[in-house]
Structure 1
Amino acid sequence: MSSTPPDYAAFFRSMLGEWEKATNSMGGQTLKSEEFVRMLGGATAATSHAQEAFRGVMERALAAANMPSRAEIEDISARLARIEGALFRMEAKLAELAPAATEKPAPAGPTRNRKPPETPEG
């Protein structure tokens, strides 16, 4: 009399497994076909050519606007990193050579510029 409710999760897992098998089979067959490989190679080449053309157009537009290109920004960034590294090494060397130079000496007392008034002797 008491029937167990249907297991929808098991049904879903079964359907998902079947779908995965069918997709893998179709994908494997598609990748084996010579036409698909040629089409994929052509699409990759077209994308590469389009990117190169866009890069050229962008460089010319930036040059016309008197702005640096990506390559110039990367070059400046690398040069700045080298300069910062050199400065860091110089600071470290200076700290090694003159540790007392970084400490400020205690301020000297005030200088006496005026002599006290002379007292009359008499």
Structure 2
Amino acid sequence: MAEKGNDPAVIWQTMIGEMEKGFNSFANQAMTSPEFSKMMNQAGGAAAGAQKQLGELMEKYLLAMNMPSRAQFVGMAERLQSIEGQLSEIKALLQQVHHNSLAPEGGYAAKPRPPRTKQPPPEGERK
């Protein structure tokens, strides 16, 4: 085997490790400076502004194409959920009313009908 000092893989690993240490040291020093913080805040603000402008542009584009925007889809979904909730409540109430109407509680529907005793006349005696 090759010696550790002359092995290219060991030399490469050592070089990469030293480069990482140097880069980490430089990055840590840069991030602690107030200029870096100010620059990152400006970059974040610019990105947020660009995202807002892109959203407005997309909304105008969709409006021009006569298509609903994301906000309109969200509004429709919320309204549909509300309608579905109301329909579920109505369905539950109707089932409750139907169940109560079938239950014998001494009301009109609970009274038994009298037996039918009158028979139709025989076929020959009809008027």
Map 1:1-122 to 2 at 5 A: 25-99=25-99
| Alignment partners' CA distance in 2, 1:81 and 1:26 | 54
Following TM superposition, by how much is the alpha carbon of 1:39 offset from its aligned partner in structure 2, in angstroms? 1.0
Identical amino acids, percent of aligned pairs: 39
Deviations 1:51-101 (A, max 9, x none): 011011101110100011111111010000000001011111111111288
| Alignment partners' CA distance in 2, 1:27 and 1:52 | 30
Equivalences, count: 93
What is the one-letter code of the residue matched to 1:73? F
Question: Unaligned 5+ residue runs, structure 1?
Answer: 1-14, 102-117
C-alpha spacing 1:95/1:21, structure 2 compared with 1 (3 Å): farther
Question: Unaligned 5+ residue runs, structure 2?
Answer: 1-13, 102-122
RMSD: 3.1
TM-score (norm 1): 0.60
C-alpha spacing 1:95/1:33, structure 2 compared with 1 (3 Å): same
